[in-house]
Amino acid sequence: MLYMPFDELYIFLVLPAIIFATWAQYRVTSSFRKYSKQGSIRGMTGAGAAQAVLNDAGVTGVRIERVQGRLTDHFDPRANVIRLSEDVYDSPSIAAIGVAAHEAGHAIQYAGAYFPMKIRSAIIPVTNIGSKMSIPLVLIGIMLDMTGLINIGILLFGLVVLFQLITLPVEFNASRRAISILDKSGVLTGEEIPASRKVLTAAALTYVGALAVSLAQLLRFMTIAGRRR
C-alpha cells in the first residue's frame, strides 16, 4: 500500500507538469534557433546590446564576459558580471540581442535593489540545501516510517518552490525592461521587437514549467505525508 499512492500521484500530478516543462524547453530552443538566423538591421552584437541597455539605464561597473556553452547566459550579482554564451556574445541576431538584453535587465534590477531579486538572493543558501537534501529526506522518511523526517524534507522542498515562485517576477520584469529599452533606444526596430519578445517569452515559460513540476512534486509529498497520518 505504500507505493500505490506514490505511483498514482506521480502519474497524475508530476508527469503532466514534466511534459509541460519539456514542451517549454523545446519551445525556447526552437525559438532561439529560428531567430538566431535573423540578423538585426543595426547589426549590433549581443555584447553590444547588453552594454547599450546598461548605458540607457545609467548602470555602470558591470562587466560583460564570454562564457562557454549553449544558452548558458546569466547575470552573476556576486561578481556584478553579465556572462554571455558563445552563441550570444558575438552574434548580431535578434535572438542573441534579446537574450543579452534580458541579462542586462537583471543587472539593472540588481543596481536598483529590485525587491523580489533581493529576496531571491537572500534565500539562495537555504534553497541550495533544500534542493540537495529535501527529496532524499522525504524518501528516507518514507522507507523508515519517520514522519518527522518526511516533514523536514517537505519543508526544505517548500523553500525550493518559494525560490522558484519568486524567480518568476524577477525573470518577467527583466524581460520587460529589456524589451522596453531595446525599443526605446532603437537597438532593434519596431518590426524586430516582436521576434525578440517571442524568444524571451519562450524562455520565461521554462521557469513556469520548472515551478509547475516543483509544485506538483510538493503536493505529491504532502499528500503522501497526509495519507500516512
Asked if residue 165 lies in contact with residue 213, where contact means CB atoms within 8 angstroms, the answer is no
- Just list the catalytic residues: 103
In this prediction, residue 4 has a pLDDT band, given cuts at 50, 70 and 90, of: very low
pLDDT in tens, 42-75: 999 999 999 999 999 999 999 999 999 988 999 9
2 and 58 in contact (C-beta within 8 Å)? Answer: no
**Region of residue 40 (left: phi > 0; alpha: psi -120 to 50; beta: else):** beta
The 10s digit of each residue's pLDDT in 162-209 is 999 999 999 999 999 999 999 999 999 999 999 999 999 999 999 999
Cell of 98: 534579446
pTM as predicted = 0.89
pLDDT in tens, 117-165: 999 988 988 899 999 999 999 989 988 888 899 999 999 999 999 999 9
Three-class DSSP category at 73: coil
User: Long-range contacts made by residues 5-14, C-beta under 8 angstroms, separation at least 24?
Assistant: 5/223, 5/224, 5/227, 6/142, 6/220, 6/224, 9/219, 9/220, 9/223, 9/224, 10/220, 13/216, 13/217, 13/219, 13/220, 14/213, 14/216, 14/217, 14/220
